[in-house]
Amino acid sequence: MSEAATEEAPKSKTKLIIIVAAALAVVLAALGVVAFMLLGGKDDKEAGAAPETGVVVPLKDEMTLNLADGKFLKIQLALQLTKEATETAGEKAADTFDGSKAQDAAISVFSTYKYNDLLDAKTKEEARKKLAAEVKKRYDGEVMDVYYRQFVMQ
């Protein structure tokens, strides 16, 4: 081997290492940008932080609903609003908040249950959670939870 050939081999290995290192740095930088955009660049609301609680609005109207087996449920609800929804509704949120969507959701949810099912405390709580999920969806997250104020079956 000539002297020129032996000098060329280390130079080409050095060049190859530099090129690979530069490419790796570019790939890592791109991954960092993507990770920041997906994970770090969101505000608290977008990041899934729990909203602050506002007032509890008791719905004035009690409802009598038909259960799946022909029995009746007399129910009255209260809605836990978020702080933001409370501020939007103003000081008299209890008087101005429209509970129609929650009442409609209650009809949809409870009409699928039978009297004997709702005698069980676990099933009753399951129904409340289903109702709360449906109400949250219908009010676009302005309502955090639903409470029973009255629950009478016959």
**Which tens digit of pLDDT belongs to each residue from 17-38?**
888 777 777 777 777 777 676 7
Domain that holds residue 57: 53-153
Q: How many domains does the chain have?
A: 2
* H-state helical runs in 36-120: 83-89, 93-96, 100-110, 115-119
On whether both 85 and 112 belong to a single domain, the answer is: yes
Q: Are residues 108 and 74 in the same domain?
A: yes
Nearest CA to 73 among 139, 123, 132? Answer: 123
Inform me whether the pLDDT recorded for 84 exceeds 50: yes
Residues 40 and 97 in one domain: no
Residues 23, 85, single domain; the answer is: no
Q: Which residue has the tokens 């004997």?
A: 116
Give per-residue burial for 90-126: e unless 16+ CB within 10 Å, then b: eeebbeebebebbbebbeebbeebeeebbeeeeeeee
The answer on 40 and 13 residing in a single domain is: yes
> What confidence tens digit (pLDDT) does each residue in 55-75 have?
999 998 899 999 999 999 999
